[in-house]
Structure 1
């Protein structure tokens, strides 16, 4: 894959962000933006255990999508304090995905501010993400194709991003938000997935205090090098095409997919995986001709 390092800046003004990154829809890592937040010094695993240890959290792992499961259904549930014990004891594939800070632990909002990047943020949807060593997300994009600001607080995380324009090379699963689940984006097999060699994207590593801006609709793959957690804030897609796709995903696609899983079962999953390969191979042949 042709991956370019995401540029890093020590700090940034609102005008610089709008001009250099939001308008051209380019990713950036901001290194020193949250040093004045209480969360910068307070948020670690022990603090989360203290304020949210008795909360039951949904957990996800890297098992393939099962037709018996609904859209984004968790694979397990556990008390936060037990999950943190697991994270710190041994590698685990279990991750927390889209855990709403405002809903679950409102007091955490006192530890951060909603930054002014020149675009309105959805203040009811700050989300936390946790993962154990070597756990990862499938390559995916978010259902609402939002602009995302990803604030990293503990551990080290590797990130690979692609814009929507590269979907034709990524073996995208139809009626879904993910690529083919057999692909290891940290070490891709180009003999099996040759189209990936033509995909142009970005990569970076996140450490404590880094803020990653992901433009709207960007594909992203996240791998936890060490146990860690992050928080995302989001802003509605501004591109009319992306906005209409977001409405389609939220209002139709996920319900259609759930219905087809119930009706067709494993045949539906197998058909989608097959179509992902067929459509990508067709695009690749057109590219090479």
Structure 2
């Protein structure tokens, strides 16, 4: 482990029960053991992202990211909660809901973005750049990217029977920014290139404790609980959530299993952070399904039931009452 260049005062404080995520050298056989069990592990000492670790600094990216515009999210506070624009009410989508986005999205050249970061003052909107690593980035970054340790990544994909690599997303965050708790429907290797991020993960079994928005909501896959000020009356089971945390350092790669909740924050007073995601499809369901089903498989089933009912009823407001009438008095004590 590298010399610790951060301290606990840079972490936001939450009333949560947290354990440390295992931190293992990439040659440790327990890495594959944990991945096979769909459990998180922090992989250290590898060459997975070494050609970009502490190389893709804000200055280097400003010079080499390219002249195309990049997607930048702006927020009036430190939270950058994802939303799905396709689920917002519109003429083309009458089944959407009325929704005020918590952030706004714009396009910026990297030079403009970096200038705003350098000149940022309290009261200004916070910034978060997200750029797919594709043919729109500069040639030097492409060369760095091609020299990642793809042999290691491909070996994990093959060993654990994941599907295809779907995308790589470059994330440039202002210090103190938070991506609130959510889950993804893909396997994820999260690589830290510059600066420090804290990641808090919860297993799929904590689904009831984290109160996800309904699938038709623009905040689908996001927790309704505000970690800064949890409403224990509305969300009483949140106090039972059992999390796992780590601070991801430059060169570290965190395995975030499919359907695991994750809450990610750039450390306060730590400067900008640069990260990259490797997202993989979960792989096909085996012909001879093993039982009992895993927790993440049950979540997938619940999502499909919600989607099916919405498709039949054509009104999101009718889904909840129908589910309650099916369960109450029949599947409850």
Q: TM-score range by the shorter chain?
A: 0.7 to 0.9
**Residue 89 of structure 1: aligned partner:** 119
CA distance in structure 2 between the aligned counterparts of 1:128 and 1:248, rounded to whole angstroms: 31
Choose from 32, 38, 43 the match for 1:25.
38
Using the TM superposition, give the Cα deviation of residue 32 of structure 1 relative to its aligned residue in structure 2, in angstroms: 1.8
**Residue 185 of structure 1: aligned partner:** 227
Using the TM superposition, give the Cα deviation of residue 94 of structure 1 relative to its aligned residue in structure 2, in angstroms: 2.4
Choose from 199, 202, 210 the match for 1:170.
210
Q: Which has the higher helix share?
A: 1
**Pair member with larger Rg:** 2
**Residue 53 of structure 2: aligned partner:** 40
**Residue 7 of structure 2: aligned partner:** none
What does the per-residue CA deviation read over 1:200-219, in whole Å, with 9 as the maximum and x for residues that have no partner? 22111122222111111111
What does the per-residue CA deviation read over 1:69-107, in whole Å, with 9 as the maximum and x for residues that have no partner? 89999622211221122223326532234x210243263
The correspondence of residues 1-289 of structure 1 with structure 2, limited to 5 A, is 1-9=16-24, 11-13=25-27, 15-19=29-33, 21-34=34-47, 37-60=50-73, 61=75, 62=80, 67=88, 75-90=105-120, 92-97=125-130, 99-105=131-137, 107=139, 108-111=141-144, 112-114=148-150, 115-116=152-153, 117-120=155-158, 122-123=164-165, 125-142=167-184, 145-175=185-215, 176-180=220-224, 183-185=225-227, 188=230, 190=232, 193-225=235-267, 226=270, 227-238=272-283, 240=285
Q: How many residues align?
A: 262
Using the TM superposition, give the Cα deviation of residue 148 of structure 1 relative to its aligned residue in structure 2, in angstroms: 0.7
- Structure 1 pair 49/106, CA: closer, same or farther in 2 (3 Å)? closer
Structure 1 gap ranges (5+):
none
CA distance in structure 1 between the aligned counterparts of 2:209 and 2:156, rounded to whole angstroms: 33
- Confirm or deny: 8 A CA contact 2:190 2:276 kept in the other structure: yes
Using the TM superposition, give the Cα deviation of residue 243 of structure 1 relative to its aligned residue in structure 2, in angstroms: 7.7
What does the per-residue CA deviation read over 1:234-268, in whole Å, with 9 as the maximum and x for residues that have no partner? 22214738689779989x96xx89xx9xx98xxx7
- Confirm or deny: 8 A CA contact 1:237 1:243 kept in the other structure: no
- Structure 1 pair 113/139, CA: closer, same or farther in 2 (3 Å)? same
Normalised TM-score (structure 2): 0.65
Structure 2 gap ranges (5+):
1-15, 286-292
What does the per-residue CA deviation read over 1:17-57, in whole Å, with 9 as the maximum and x for residues that have no partner? 222x1111111112322388221242111111111252211
CA distance in structure 2 between the aligned counterparts of 1:129 and 1:171, rounded to whole angstroms: 27
Using the TM superposition, give the Cα deviation of residue 197 of structure 1 relative to its aligned residue in structure 2, in angstroms: 0.7
What does the per-residue CA deviation read over 1:145-168, in whole Å, with 9 as the maximum and x for residues that have no partner? 221110011222121111222111
- Structure 1 pair 245/191, CA: closer, same or farther in 2 (3 Å)? closer
- Structure 1 pair 41/130, CA: closer, same or farther in 2 (3 Å)? closer
Q: Secondary structure at the match of 1:139?
A: strand
- Confirm or deny: 8 A CA contact 2:201 2:263 kept in the other structure: yes
Tell me the C-alpha RMSD between the 2 structures: 4.1
- Runs of 4+ with >3 A deviation: 61-74, 120-124, 186-193, 238-250
Normalised TM-score (structure 1): 0.73
